[in-house]
Chain A
């Protein structure tokens, strides 16, 4: 440290002398900064530094407020304030002075002022409003530097609301003669585009002009905007491909001036950007991709120089080549390039090589095989980052055969690395893998016996998860324990297997609890106590008091948190039978009887009561029940009576937190009122007009001031809150969703790695390590890691790229609206709430219900087995699958169905369902030859296309039937019930017409498969119907469909598979999609994989664009309800839109267009105002208030969801512009 000080001292005089020429005032100021810095450097402790800075800040504060401070001094003060802020000390007193300096200072002082503003303030800071005028002035300045500074500040921080004020000026700058100004203006507009895309919509053609600018710098800047826009909507910009390719060609060809070269590479950053854009454009689009093959080849060829930056270009090239439509010649070259990266001695390149491998391994597993030795070496690399990237690569190539080796490697890494975030992510991945292959057995017979020893088993699964829990600590994602417990609770197909697994878990936890538990994370203890409470009955020879005493010993430890203790107590409640139980429970009750924590006290008390009353216990917590069908009354409807009684006695109604907040903020508005009235009259009325409430539009004509509205919102508002929570209407949307979900047919799910045969094998330990040479060892490791890769197993690989982890494949249950992560917390308390209700002596037959549902669960198992294992090769499965598209291709399906016919009752039942689906189509039973022209493709919107739907509707109902309670045995009961359903009900056609759909959209096709989709606007979700049609004359096998979306939620299983698809046959798969977070548009992507008869595997990727409008549904409301709702929503957006030109009634014409296009509910039109309501699935309401005046339509949107108004406004704008 001291030499730094010395250096400072030596350097100071020269610095001072350098500055002295700038005027005498500067000298003292620099030395002040110098002094500050020097004294800070001399300090040894943080505490002293703090003291010194505090002193400095006080001095600064004094100086800034002194009237004698010149702006030159102010400039220097700002630099010191910046320095203090950088060290983490707030100098908020200087913010206002920074703005002032920017406003009043001349050139240099202004520059410091702007810099300080950029560093001090953020976009939402109130003071920023004061800067707007300065920016405006500087944008109009003739001084180029002022303009530059203003543009810089605009692109760094600018309040969203103020964009319209500066937008025209910034736009003007696009035609400025100086290229630097144009370039900065483009970047400023890019910033505007990022924070408020709607506002710059009208200047897209100017962006185009910037792209064609004669200065390459401006063009480069405009690429930022286009990159963003292409990322959001690649389809909209495909026509840009040719221009971008042309630009890249020129750049690569060295057509740019020499000054753009960097290490004699022409404009490398520009090349990188262009390549990235091409990748986005060419993805899943063959014709676009073909345009860029040549230039990509050229880029690869040119990038021969051995500089870092050429590798950057090469890397982007490779990624682009693997992203766009494949061309074998290019792929070959790209693969070679990846080799250069991976084998490079430079560690940065090796890292990128691994990244590239990870990226391409799904398409080309052979490449990983080629470099397997390098990958093995990287596993032992000293750099943890390289190691982690290697693990990421391995994670992508995991299959049932190498899972245990890879998981072991990951756990080894976890044991070494202590970095928080990495651990969390990796722990999640290990858990995911372990759950994905909990006891996978080798399905491929040809695999050498040696490998079988690696095959995981129950024991492996539990042991792995134990390691995960103890390593993961308490920071791991909550889904990990939740999913684990869920997996244990729900079990798999075979009851025996479940038993084994649970028994193993119980055994292992009992022995763990015997040892010292204080180092175990809380999460792990919670998992243990739950499992012991739930499943320790499985262990027959267990001494009754043993588990209880082990659990009770946890309660004594200080390190165990209250939450964990609560879990332990809940577990003990389940086990507390017998004399021993009474004793322990008594002790615990005594121990916690005086606890300050009321929850623990209550639970201990309950434990005590339950241990004494055996009958009560078996009623509340029936032993040995399954988890299926346990219902949680989330609306707490059993309290309705209590609530209404309380309300009748005059209790204050419940208000949800957000409403309380809303009212608070409204009170704030009230408090502000005097200030508001104090404003000049013109201003206040103007602002009031802008913010009129639609609820008040009966009053609005005579509206004169705020006070007019105050009485209006009084009492009615409160009642409204009550209604929404407790009443029937308020909960309707949610209830609907809950009711809708079980009605969906749970689609069959692929079981790629499983064989249907029963299996029970104990875990075999790893083979004893024989003394091996290091090379041999690596070879062996390689063979165990890369097993299952390569051509014969391509299906496994292609089967899982990027698929959302499918943890609970065996039992698809209806989607619970809560989502997976909340499940555990609900379930852990469910017994509790049941108990509460019992203790409250409101006798509900809940316990009995539980028993019935448990029984039901078992039946579900049988039913589920049939439904969910289409891979099991049986005529039944065939019949099921081919029955789906009955309406589409009567000839093929009929013949297939005839094979299924008679084999089982179920098949018969389906067959009987057939005629219904075929009704719209001409039935030709004798036509055995394949019918190539599917009627569906020809007339997508006519009645005939309703055929498949019709059948499917019945199919889903038939399935629902199998889940119904009375279906005790499938084989006997099923046919009659189905037959009952077969008489076409009169309402069928009306029902069919109800959810209207889009036209048939062709998604993708290749030589043998044609994929098309239809959007069906259902009430609770958007249903996507995907039709896979085999256009070749060969049979296709193992057809599987995967759907994924980063932004949307696919409600039911996103994967479907069909074992066989006959020549010219077709199958349909249906997926419900909802939009949880509002987006202007979103993409659902996916792929169909299939095997042709010759055995080669193919993949056909597709993507489908969905807009917000697809998820909008009308929200029927009365004007009165609308008014109440309006007040409770707190996110709003307001903008002027164009009013349609209509002679008679422009307002209603415009609103009707909106209603028609965006599915609004038109609540009412009064005079020049109209109100509309809609909801975004699943159930986010949005209200619109429109006011027409002088050719414009002022639209005001409000919603409880943050981005919804913004996105919706965008679509309104679009709709009106398209007219």
Chain B
């Protein structure tokens, strides 16, 4: 399983982070720092695998990374993933980004962080590889973008009007969220 995907630049500035296993916020930042520290020290002519970080999962944990110009793409995986397979998955991901952004560069990742996330969601879902076929990934993302376009053009105005009306009483909203029709256990109401 893929535990985390980290993208940061040569200075260690995070550009995209996605954890598939829960870590507390400060732990996440620590992982990013440690990973950057490990990866940035390495020349480009050494191998793309690293082992034995102490933060995620201990010995059953590998870092597989690629360095493109100003960016590091790092996948933290456990032993059930194939090293070379993940290495090529990174390549697929980057090529897909390139296709979607046309000559992708760091700035694209900064300004369209959400879009990068959507592309990633089509490649990796919940820590498992979902799709490795670039064309398929692009097609899925484009399908969503088309929805975006149609909304922006045709239905933008009414939608905005509706949402404006909806949000008139905004502070009230949390209480109105309807959870009545499914069986929600009231948490921590033990009878003792």
Residues of A within 8 A of B (CB): 4, 7-8, 11, 15, 21-23, 25-26, 30, 33-34, 37, 65-72, 79, 82-83, 85-88, 90, 96, 99-100, 103-109, 111-112, 115, 119, 122-124, 126, 129-130, 132-133, 136, 145, 152, 155-156, 161-162, 164-165, 180, 183-184, 187-188, 190-191, 217, 221, 224, 227, 231, 259-260, 262, 268-269, 272, 276, 308-309, 311-312, 315-316, 347-348, 350-352, 382-383, 385-386, 388, 419-422, 424-425, 666, 669, 672, 676, 679, 683, 687-688, 690-693, 706, 709, 713, 1127
Kindly provide the distance from the CB of A1059 to the nearest chain B CB, expressed in whole angstroms.
36
Docked complex Cα distance between A136 and B177 (Å): 13
What string of 1s and 0s marks CB contacts (under 8 Å) between B123-165 and chain A? 0011011111101100010011001110110011001100110
Is B48 part of the contact surface with A, judged by Cβ < 8 Å?
Answer: yes
Residues of B within 8 A of A99 (CB): 177
Smallest CB gap from B9: residue in A = A4
Docked complex Cα distance between A808 and B50 (Å): 34
Q: Is A71 within 8 A of B163, CB to CB?
A: yes
Docked complex Cα distance between A558 and B36 (Å): 35
Smallest CB gap from B81: residue in A = A272
Q: Is A165 within 8 A of B47, CB to CB?
A: no
Residues of B within 8 A of A693 (CB): 191-192
Q: Is A350 within 8 A of B47, CB to CB?
A: yes
Docked complex Cα distance between A350 and B189 (Å): 58
Taking a contact as CB atoms closer than 8 A, the residue among B26, B59, B113 that contacts A83 in the complex is B113
Taking a contact as CB atoms closer than 8 A, the residue among B14, B38, B182 that contacts A165 in the complex is B182
29 contacts between A and B (CB under 8 A): A33-B111, A67-B169, A71-B163, A72-B163, A82-B113, A104-B163, A115-B114, A119-B117, A133-B182, A155-B126, A187-B130, A190-B126, A191-B126, A217-B131, A268-B88, A309-B85, A312-B87, A315-B83, A347-B45, A348-B48, A421-B53, A669-B188, A669-B191, A672-B188, A687-B185, A687-B189, A687-B191, A691-B191, A706-B191
Taking a contact as CB atoms closer than 8 A, the residue among B50, B88, B192 that contacts A669 in the complex is B192
Residues of B within 8 A of A709 (CB): 191-192
Smallest CB gap from A666: residue in B = B192
Q: Which 10 A-B pairs have the closest CB atoms?
A: A312-B84, A155-B126, A383-B46, A421-B54, A71-B163, A122-B22, A22-B152, A88-B29, A347-B47, A67-B170
Docked complex Cα distance between A926 and B173 (Å): 94
Interface residue range, chain B: 35 or more
Residue from B46, B59, B126, B185 with most neighbouring chain A CB atoms (10 Å): B126
Is B110 part of the contact surface with A, judged by Cβ < 8 Å?
Answer: yes
Q: Is A130 within 8 A of B177, CB to CB?
A: yes
Residues of A within 8 A of B164 (CB): 70
Q: Is A692 within 8 A of B126, CB to CB?
A: no
Smallest CB gap from B11: residue in A = A1
Residues of A within 8 A of B43 (CB): 382
Q: Is A108 within 8 A of B167, CB to CB?
A: no
Q: Is B192 within 8 A of A676, CB to CB?
A: no
Residues of B within 8 A of A669 (CB): 188-192
Smallest CB gap from A164: residue in B = B183
Smallest CB gap from B32: residue in A = A88
Q: Is B184 within 8 A of A348, CB to CB?
A: no
Docked complex Cα distance between A1127 and B192 (Å): 8
> Given A183-B130, A386-B47, A709-B191, are A112 and B114 also a contact pair (CB < 8 Å)?
yes
Is B107 part of the contact surface with A, judged by Cβ < 8 Å?
Answer: yes
Kindly provide the distance from the CB of A230 to the nearest chain B CB, expressed in whole angstroms.
11
Docked complex Cα distance between A272 and B111 (Å): 36
Residues of A within 8 A of B179 (CB): 129-130, 132-133
Kindly provide the distance from the CB of B168 to the nearest chain A CB, expressed in whole angstroms.
7
Q: Is B29 within 8 A of A422, CB to CB?
A: no
Q: Is B84 within 8 A of A106, CB to CB?
A: no
Taking a contact as CB atoms closer than 8 A, the residue among A7, A123, A268, A679 that contacts B186 in the complex is A679
Q: Is A37 within 8 A of B125, CB to CB?
A: no
Residues of B within 8 A of A672 (CB): 188-189
Residues of B within 8 A of A88 (CB): 25-26, 28-29
Residues of B within 8 A of A666 (CB): 190, 192
Residues of A within 8 A of B129 (CB): 269
Kindly provide the distance from the CB of B76 to the nearest chain A CB, expressed in whole angstroms.
14
Q: Is A37 within 8 A of B87, CB to CB?
A: no
Residues of A within 8 A of B191 (CB): 669, 687-688, 691-693, 706, 709
Q: Is B192 within 8 A of A385, CB to CB?
A: no
Kindly provide the distance from the CB of B164 to the nearest chain A CB, expressed in whole angstroms.
5
Smallest CB gap from B192: residue in A = A666
Taking a contact as CB atoms closer than 8 A, the residue among B121, B168, B170 that contacts A152 in the complex is B121
Q: Is A385 within 8 A of B46, CB to CB?
A: yes
Q: Is B151 within 8 A of A155, CB to CB?
A: no
Residues of B within 8 A of A70 (CB): 160, 163-164, 167
Taking a contact as CB atoms closer than 8 A, the residue among B84, B125, B174, B188 that contacts A348 in the complex is B84
Q: Is A108 within 8 A of B147, CB to CB?
A: yes
Docked complex Cα distance between A26 and B182 (Å): 37
Docked complex Cα distance between A25 and B163 (Å): 14
Residue from A7, A259, A348 with most neighbouring chain B CB atoms (10 Å): A348
Residues of A within 8 A of B14 (CB): 86-87
Kindly provide the distance from the CB of B111 to the nearest chain A CB, expressed in whole angstroms.
6
Docked complex Cα distance between A71 and B165 (Å): 11
Residues of B within 8 A of A180 (CB): 140
What string of 1s and 0s marks CB contacts (under 8 Å) between B91-114 and chain A? 010000000000000110011011
Kindly provide the distance from the CB of B30 to the nearest chain A CB, expressed in whole angstroms.
9
Kindly provide the distance from the CB of B62 to the nearest chain A CB, expressed in whole angstroms.
10
> Given A71-B163, A155-B125, A687-B185, are A259 and B135 also a contact pair (CB < 8 Å)?
yes
Kindly provide the distance from the CB of A1166 to the nearest chain B CB, expressed in whole angstroms.
18
Kindly provide the distance from the CB of A175 to the nearest chain B CB, expressed in whole angstroms.
19
Q: Is A65 within 8 A of B171, CB to CB?
A: yes
> Given A72-B163, A132-B182, are A352 and B84 also a contact pair (CB < 8 Å)?
yes
Kindly provide the distance from the CB of A713 to the nearest chain B CB, expressed in whole angstroms.
7
What string of 1s and 0s marks CB contacts (under 8 Å) between B49-62 and chain A? 11111100001000
Kindly provide the distance from the CB of A678 to the nearest chain B CB, expressed in whole angstroms.
12
Smallest CB gap from A88: residue in B = B29
Q: Is A308 within 8 A of B184, CB to CB?
A: no
Is B18 part of the contact surface with A, judged by Cβ < 8 Å?
Answer: yes
Taking a contact as CB atoms closer than 8 A, the residue among B130, B147, B160, B177 that contacts A221 in the complex is B130
Q: Is A683 within 8 A of B186, CB to CB?
A: yes
Docked complex Cα distance between A994 and B111 (Å): 73
> Given A34-B111, A421-B53, are A308 and B87 also a contact pair (CB < 8 Å)?
yes
Kindly provide the distance from the CB of A102 to the nearest chain B CB, expressed in whole angstroms.
11
Q: Is B192 within 8 A of A713, CB to CB?
A: yes
Residues of A within 8 A of B80 (CB): 227, 231, 276
Taking a contact as CB atoms closer than 8 A, the residue among A34, A136, A683 that contacts B182 in the complex is A136
Kindly provide the distance from the CB of A3 to the nearest chain B CB, expressed in whole angstroms.
11
Taking a contact as CB atoms closer than 8 A, the residue among B47, B52, B160 that contacts A72 in the complex is B160
> Given A86-B113, A385-B49, are A676 and B20 also a contact pair (CB < 8 Å)?
no
Residues of A within 8 A of B114 (CB): 79, 82, 112, 115
Q: Is A187 within 8 A of B110, CB to CB?
A: no
Taking a contact as CB atoms closer than 8 A, the residue among B20, B85, B190 that contacts A691 in the complex is B190
Kindly provide the distance from the CB of A214 to the nearest chain B CB, expressed in whole angstroms.
16
Kindly provide the distance from the CB of B118 to the nearest chain A CB, expressed in whole angstroms.
7
Residues of B within 8 A of A316 (CB): 82
What string of 1s and 0s marks CB contacts (under 8 Å) between B8-43 and chain A? 000000101110101001101100000000100011
Q: Is A425 within 8 A of B59, CB to CB?
A: yes
Taking a contact as CB atoms closer than 8 A, the residue among B88, B113, B163, B186 that contacts A308 in the complex is B88
Q: Give 8 new A-B contacts, CB below 8 A, not counting A217-B136, A262-B132, A312-B88.
A: A108-B148, A184-B125, A188-B126, A312-B83, A352-B83, A666-B190, A693-B192, A709-B192
Q: Is B171 within 8 A of A15, CB to CB?
A: no
Docked complex Cα distance between A904 and B25 (Å): 70
Q: Is B174 within 8 A of A96, CB to CB?
A: yes
Q: Is B85 within 8 A of A272, CB to CB?
A: yes
> Given A88-B28, A104-B166, A217-B131, are A119 and B18 also a contact pair (CB < 8 Å)?
yes
Residues of A within 8 A of B177 (CB): 99-100, 103, 130, 133
